[in-house]
């Protein structure tokens, strides 16, 4: 339980901030959306770590299998909700699931990287993972999504942001088979690393 206190403190602090924001009547819809993704992200982070550890105890590469199956289950929801009417319970529920999914993979991936590299470079490897995630994933993804939205708007499309974000989210499907392959290789790779470190 004590590990959860930083998350609880962050939630209380940001909830107070959002309360002040809503009292000032500044964009209540965006404040509500931010609160949904904040809470979903915190829950997703904790749940993803706990569930992937459960899978890791039962199967070799269980953390990576968890990420692959979780993505397969969640991607349809995160694609469909972009076409749902806003301000509905179904829309907010799907957005909550999407917010959880965005953070559920972080713990399993970080733990897997640490398992698969020599102890002497674990910190460096995690640092490179974070750098690569931002430079090769987050930044290009945001750029391409924005570019598509602008292009669709200039072409006269209705709901250009919906289609722009929809297309960039489809790219996430490419990662699913890669996680299955990584899970299959996890056991042999860990064994080989242990042999090398034992020499």
Q: What is the pLDDT of residues 114-170, one digit of tens each?
A: 999 998 898 899 899 989 888 888 888 888 888 998 999 999 988 888 888 888 888
- pLDDT for the residue 7: 52
Three-class DSSP category at 146: helix
Tally of domains in the chain = 1
- Give the Cα separation of 79 and 165 in Å (integer): 9
Domain of 18, in residue numbers: 2-198
CA proximity to 52, closest of 99, 97, 100, 111: 111
- Give the Cα separation of 13 and 42 in Å (integer): 13
Q: What is the pLDDT of residues 80-120, one digit of tens each?
A: 888 888 778 888 888 888 888 888 988 899 999 999 999 88
Which CATH number characterizes residue 179's domain?
A: 1.20.1250.20
pTM for this prediction: 0.79
- pLDDT for the residue 3: 47
Mean pLDDT for the chain? 82
DSSP 62-119: HHHHHHHHHHHHHHHHHHHGGGSPSSSHHHHHHHHHHHHHHHHTHHHHHHHHHHTS-G
- Give the Cα separation of 58 and 61 in Å (integer): 9
* Measured CA distances, 17 to 14, 22, 25, 91, 111 (Å): 5, 9, 13, 24, 32
Main-chain phi, psi angles of 155, to 5 degrees: -80, 0
Q: What percent of the chain is predicted at pLDDT more than 70?
A: 83
* Measured CA distances, 171 to 10, 70, 126, 137, 145 (Å): 31, 15, 24, 11, 11
């Amino acid at each position: 339980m004590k590990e959860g206190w930083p998350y609880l403190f962050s939630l209380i602090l940001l909830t107070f901030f959002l309360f002040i924001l809503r009292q000032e009547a500044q964009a209540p819809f965006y404040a509500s959306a931010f609160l949904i993704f904040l809470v979903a992200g915190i829950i997703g982070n904790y749940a993803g770590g706990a569930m992937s550890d459960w899978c890791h105890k039962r199967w070799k590469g269980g953390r990576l299998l968890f990420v692959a199956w979780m993505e397969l289950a969640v991607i349809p929801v995160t694609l469909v909700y972009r076409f749902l009417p806003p301000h509905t319970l179904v829309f907010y529920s799907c957005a909550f699931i999407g917010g959880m999914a965005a953070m559920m993979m972080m713990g399993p991936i970080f733990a897997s990287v640490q398992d698969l590299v020599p102890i002497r470079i674990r910190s460096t490897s995690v640092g490179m993972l974070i750098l690569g995630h931002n430079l090769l994933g987050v930044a290009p993804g945001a750029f391409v999504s924005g570019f598509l939205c602008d292009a669709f708007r200039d072409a006269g499309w209705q709901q250009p942001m919906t289609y722009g974000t929809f297309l960039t989210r489809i790219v996430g499907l490419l990662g699913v088979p890669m996680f299955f392959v990584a899970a299959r290789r996890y056991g042999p790779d860990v064994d080989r690393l242990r042999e090398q470190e034992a020499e």
